[in-house]
Structure 1
């Protein structure tokens, strides 16, 4: 079987959308399931519409794609409204409000935006403004999850690069408030202050900014290959692919990217992002980049990483699982925590979480009564 045929159906179609025209209804059933489970149904629908194929697809398929289009576009509308409300709420803060990830892609009009699905807004502010920002948000209807205990609060506030997730009590919106890109306890030395060097204003949203192209791509790489956010791993890999293709067309981007990775301290996540976008999605970038980022992982480490990411960065559907999938995900989960914390803190944290799961009181299922 060729390398192309070994790729999951969803990946083949997203890389070559014209393939979808000849699919059977059985193939489409599988494709839609893979797309939904991977949070990529909106991207698939946008590609079908942009290519002019949507109206010619089998009749049972069209409603599913049109629904995905409506949902992704509705999310983009709600995002604009929510960011405007956040901007007004936090207008008294002296520093910039920097959007990250999906919100920045959509409001900045970047390549990953069409069809992009997301469940929360990621916002970056300077560390010294965090207490005032938190107080302002709480006054204006935001709150933390009720299920967070004292240990969870301490975990976020002492060891992480963000506050616990916030939710608006009336609008239901979710917000992740960051003050750095990686936890202060991370093994990777990181200069998060450099992220505030030259943010770019977002037109129509005074006081709201996005990262410059180099930093935006580096954050996306760090999010996937350092933080280990695997439930949306394939979606995030396609984000990286789109950003590399978009920004790679800018004059002088590649040398600025490698220089910036060294400046901030994100050469290894970028190295991994380049390797796996090329390996899994055929992403174009200059071959000399990897050498400029320093030595690769050792031979054994690289084989293990390849084995894990080849399994974890596939559609989140049973039809795409390779042997050893669960072991690969578990290994990458441990790796992300190992990169995030020193050993003593990591051991204590994992033991605490394991004990909490074992001693949790199971929920009694509700029974409907007539």
Structure 2
């Protein structure tokens, strides 16, 4: 047992040290590299490692077989960037004449706004925030222009449209790329308020005036809300999302006015608790430079002491990928508890019980999600 525990600690240390101090990577042994590549692939940060080594001029100092893996990750990312950029181009073509604000979210926003998280990041689909009263018009136009509604269970379709913050994804008939259309950041039933009007009012326009991205503080808050309220029972929390937040904080944090506005903006939007967790764990895992007065200002957003201690234990277990050869039952439990917590915050108890009961019934009857072979390359990065 002690040997297994040490191997798990070794895997986590290798990954975190690689992300924080990529300049130390050329000194790794082949055995360490073999484990690091497997863990980094599971965390979907292979491209991030390649980008860091490339910018440090160290790619030539690592073993050639390792460099080949990293180059493969870079090529996949380059390909996906091209696809996503073209999808946005086609999206604008399809929506020509519809005068509605279009806010790009998450990875697409990082890419089109040329922000640091776009370096070495894998891209899956286009996420778009639009006013709720324009959703149907935009959806119908896209369907007319070559996208189609993905086939899902009728219950899920109604669940999306009545309770959620987005509609079911649309997929292009030829390219296979997807567009997720959101009208708010959190489900309508969420315990956290998520009125979208302030987001539209503060959004920044890109080079193409039809496109916008969230304001810096809002972009970080959205990333943290997505991280801590979108738990997955199998994958857990996504370390790459916290790495995105680290990059954004380092980038925007060079402006003193940013730090002065971050906590007040979180309070105005009702996102101070995710911000508390995000700043705490970004500093813990990546050494993100955060002004002490900002952390002090957020102390009243912390949960009660027992919950705080529990979350400080659960979040790292759910956030860090496990050892590929030595899965942890404790980490699996943490991922499940974080998943339950996310659902608890997303909807009231009665609706939650009904929803989870329906999902459990589908699993009992042998229902399985359809596997999209075209997306498997993304899950391996």
The 1-side partners of 2:27 and 2:14 are apart by 13
User: What is the Cα deviation at residue 31 of structure 1?
Assistant: 1.2
Between the aligned partners of 1:42 and 1:113, the Cα distance in structure 2 is 10
Quote the Cα distance in structure 1 between the aligned partners of 2:27 and 2:329.
29
Map Cα deviations across residues 138-157 of structure 1 (whole Å, 9 max, x no partner): 111212222x1210011100
Distance, in Å, in 1 between the alignment partners of 2:37 and 2:11 is: 18
Alignment of 1:257 with 2:262, yes or no, is yes
Q: Contact 1:122/1:177 (CA < 8 Å) preserved in 2?
A: yes
Which among 184, 188, 194 is matched to residue 192 of structure 2? 188
- 8 Å contact 2:318–2:334 — kept in the other structure? yes
Name the structure with the higher helix share.
2
TM-score (structure 1 length as normaliser): 0.92
Alignment partner of 1:98 out of 68, 86, 103: 103
SS, match of residue 239 in structure 1: helix
Q: Where in structure 1 are there 5+ consecutive unaligned residues? A: 364-370
Measure how far apart 1:362 and its partner are. Answer: 7.5
Root mean square deviation of aligned Cα? 1.9
Name the CA distance, whole Å, in 2 between partners of 1:282 and 1:47.
Answer: 16
305-314 vs 69-78, which moves further: 69-78
Q: Distance in 1 between matches of 2:256 and 2:74?
A: 33
Task: Name the structure 2 match of 1:303.
Answer: 309
Aligned to 1:131: 136
Structure 1 counterpart of 2:88: 83
Does the 8 A contact of 1:38 with 1:232 survive in 2? no
Matched residue SS, 2:160: helix
Partner deviation per Cα, 1:108-140 (whole Å, 9 max, x = no partner): 111111111021111100111011011011111
Higher relative contact order (CA 8 A, sep 6+): 2
Q: Does 1:226 align with 2:232?
A: no
1:227 counterpart SS class: coil
Q: 2:120 aligns with which of 115, 124, 130?
A: 115
How far apart are the structure 2 equivalents of 1:291 and 1:321? 37
Given that 1:100 and 1:122 are in contact with CA atoms closer than 8 Å, whether structure 2 keeps it comes out as yes
Post-superposition Cα deviations, 1:333-358, rounded to whole Å, max 9, x if no partner, equal 00000000000000000000000011
Distance 1:61 1:158 in 2: 48
**Which residue matches 2:319?**
313
Gaps of 5+ in 2: 1-5, 370-381
Matched, 1:174 2:165: no
Could you tell me how far apart the structure 2 residues matched to 1:48 and 1:233 are? Answer: 22
Give the drift of 1:292: 2.2
CA offsets, 1:269-317, max 9 Å, x none? Answer: 1111111111222211112223323341011111111111110111254
Which residue is equivalent to 2:3?
A: none
Count of residues paired in the alignment? 359
Matched with 1:291 is 296
Give yes or no for contact 1:42–1:117 (8 Å, CA) kept in 2. yes
> Residue 60 of structure 1: SS of its match in structure 2?
helix
1:212 equivalent in structure 2? 215
Distance 1:94 1:61 in 2: 49
Q: Distance in 2 between matches of 1:339 and 1:85?
A: 36
Answering whether residue 43 of structure 2 is matched by residue 46 of structure 1, we say: no
Are the counterparts in 1 of residues 237 and 318 from structure 2 also a CA contact under 8 Å? no
Matches within 5 A, 1:19-38: 19-38=24-43
- What is the alpha-carbon distance in structure 2 between the residues aligned to residue 139 and residue 192 of structure 1? 27
CA contact (8 A) 1:111 1:246 kept: yes
In the TM superposition, what whole-angstrom CA distance separates every residue of 1:188-227 from its partner, at most 9, and x where no partner exists?
1222211100221222x34011111011111001101123
* Alignment match, 1:280: 285
The answer to whether the 8 Å contact 1:45/1:69 transfers is yes
CA distance in 2, matches of 1:212, 1:168: 29
Q: Secondary structure at the match of 1:288?
A: helix
